[in-house]
A and B are shown apart, each in its own frame.
Chain A
Amino acid sequence: MATTIERPSASGRADEATRDRKLPGQRRHGLSRVALYTLLSILGAIAAVPFVWMILGSFKTGAELRQTPPTFWPHEPTLGNYETILNDPDLPLELFYRNSLFVAVTVVIATLFTSSLLGYVFAKYEFRGRQPLFWFVLATMMIPAQVTMIPGYLILVQLGLLNNLWGLVLPSFVDAFGIFLMRQFMFSIPDDEIWSARVDGASEWRIYRSVVLPQLKPALATLGMLTFMFHWNAYLWPLIVLTEQEKRTLPIILTWYNTQHAAQLNLVMAASVLMVIPVLIIFAVSQRWIVRGLTLTGTK
């Protein structure tokens, strides 16, 4: 399940320093470099085109989008679609943003706490059955969501948490992936530091808070970003749990709006831009944390 594809930073920097130093005879590859950049740019353009098509479409009028064949660049760019959506009483976007934000932020806080604490226990405490228990935690990561969603739903019914945002939050309080990630990072903290704190009379809680946590900041940022993204984008579980419109999170609202306004593609495009792009920009800006988490653990 897990591997560590980590580049030691010191030697990595050295690699980068030597990379730009050309080998003798490498200059004649100039032409193939042009070809390489051209090919990559073409592929990149193809990959980006669906986004571009949506964004451009959101500035077109309904009439322009109905033309055959459709135009690529908007001929009469308009903000009308956005005005319609932002003034649509059936689509209180700030409410749905708030719902999504509440779920994602609460889960992030809970996951960061439980994962760092349990990761610490698994990495630094010796106790009977530690290894089997850890393998068990890892094994639960293999269970498909489709298996746990049925009992999960029945549990929520019993707890009366159906159609409640806490029903999205509670099942995610303990996260196997988070425990695993934290444990991996925890090995970089020297045992000596923990022991010397213990000798100085610090309580176990104090050690966790003052010795362990501060050294985990990059790890916590990575896990926090990944968790936030995962829950922000979640669809299946919210679809099962939330039944009332005003409780729903953004991905469900987006599909709802899509089916409601199927005939007005210009509106759906603008709504999609409003629900997808702002957070996408935040994710893109902080992608190095996400990439780090993914490459470090090799898990999805």
Chain B
Amino acid sequence: MGIFLLLPIGWAILLAFFDFSPRRTGSPFLGLGLDNPYVGVEHFRRMLDFSNTAPLEVRQFHTALKVTLLFAFLVLPLNLAITLPLAAMIESVRDRWKVVYRTIFFLPVLTSAVGVAIIWGFVLHPQRGLLNGTITRLTGRFTSIAWTSDADLVFGGLPIALIAIIVAYLWQDIGYNLVIFIAALQSIPDSVKNAARVDGASAVQTFRYITLPLLKPTILLASVLTMISSFQVFDLFQVMTNGGPDDQTRALSLDIYDSAFRYQRMGWAAAVSVVLFALVLTISLVQSRFLKANWEY
């Protein structure tokens, strides 16, 4: 079983050191060698070429790295800013309503990411979308903004297309952290909260000074998981924009897929995937260090 799990990762790391394409013939050993020559750390060296003359795939990698980091570091705080207060609100309503509200926010988690991408395509459609239709109705001026395909649309330095994917991802993903937080909130004994209320604390104060500190371990864990998964989002990027416009939403996962399966540059793609892996690993190690440090209070 160990081999079963270890084989792919070992193979991926090995591939990163070869200029491998499945179209060419290599030696009998995993198709490496011969027309798929060993190139050493060449792929990784090229990743550090930040000049304007760098090959296209290198510049695309740089773009992809930037998009993925932007995406992940924007998604996490936005996610927590929505899910924490929302969980507290849902937790404080009657049980019957709790299930109703939780279900509404949880439905997108249960939907396939492809479904989510296409549903948001209906909302953001330039001519027939709900968003432009609503704006037209409210302003009385015909609006047909191409939210996910106009490269000139920028808000605060961020491409609108990327913001659109972030919104869709938040919509899809908040239900997940929501149920985790609701479960954690329910595990806090009511006596603790009631004591604070009797002492005259307001609902907001109770949440800020009693509930939030008790939730800290859960919040940190949810942060790690949210960040790891946002580094790997593929479906939304591929279906909503396929990297466009002008590579503005070209995430690492999409870059790896395209390199490997569209352009058959599997050695290069494997090298990029190793970088993604290293990134995920580093960030989860840093965050779990946080987790441990904060555990003892």
In the complex formed, the residue of B with least CB distance to A53 is: B130
> By the criterion CB–CB under 8 Å, are A145 and B180 in contact?
no
B54: CB under 8 A from chain A?
A: no
> By the criterion CB–CB under 8 Å, are B257 and A236 in contact?
yes
Dominant SS at the A interface? helix
Residues of B with C-beta under 8 A to A298: 180, 221-222, 225
Contact status of A19 and B5, CB under 8 A, knowing A146-B273, A154-B22:
no
18 contacts between A and B (CB under 8 A): A26-B197, A44-B104, A50-B119, A51-B107, A51-B119, A68-B142, A146-B253, A146-B257, A151-B11, A154-B11, A233-B111, A235-B113, A235-B114, A255-B117, A272-B122, A287-B106, A298-B222, A300-B228
Please report the C-alpha to C-alpha distance between residue A88 and residue B4 in the assembled complex, in whole angstroms. 42
Give the residues from 1 to 50 in chain B that come closer than 8 angstroms, CB to CB, to chain A: 1-2, 4-5, 7-9, 11-12, 15, 22, 30-31
B80: CB under 8 A from chain A?
A: no
Contact status of A39 and B89, CB under 8 A, knowing A154-B22, A233-B114:
yes
In the complex formed, the residue of B with least CB distance to A100 is: B112
Q: Report which A residues bind B (CB closer than 8 A).
A: 3, 5-7, 12, 15-16, 18-20, 23, 26, 29, 32, 36-37, 39-40, 43-44, 47-51, 53-54, 57, 65-66, 68-70, 72, 118, 133, 136-137, 140, 142-155, 157, 174, 176, 229, 232-233, 235-236, 240, 250-252, 254-255, 258, 265, 268-269, 272, 275-276, 280, 283-284, 287, 290-291, 294-295, 298-300
Contact status of A40 and B122, CB under 8 A, knowing A15-B186, A157-B22, A251-B112:
no
B133: CB under 8 A from chain A?
A: yes
Please report the C-alpha to C-alpha distance between residue A150 and residue B14 in the assembled complex, in whole angstroms. 11
B57: CB under 8 A from chain A?
A: no
Stretch at the interface among B70-78, B154-162, B187-195, B205-213: B187-195
Please report the C-alpha to C-alpha distance between residue A297 and residue B261 in the assembled complex, in whole angstroms. 34
In the complex formed, the residue of A with least CB distance to B272 is: A146
Give the residues from 143 to 193 in chain B that come closer than 8 angstroms, CB to CB, to chain A: 171, 176, 179-180, 183-184, 186-187, 189-190
In the complex formed, the residue of A with least CB distance to B5 is: A140
Residues of B with C-beta under 8 A to A153: 260-261
Among B122, B136, B284: residue with most chain A CB under 10 A: B122
Contact status of A280 and B111, CB under 8 A, knowing A57-B122, A146-B276, A254-B118:
yes
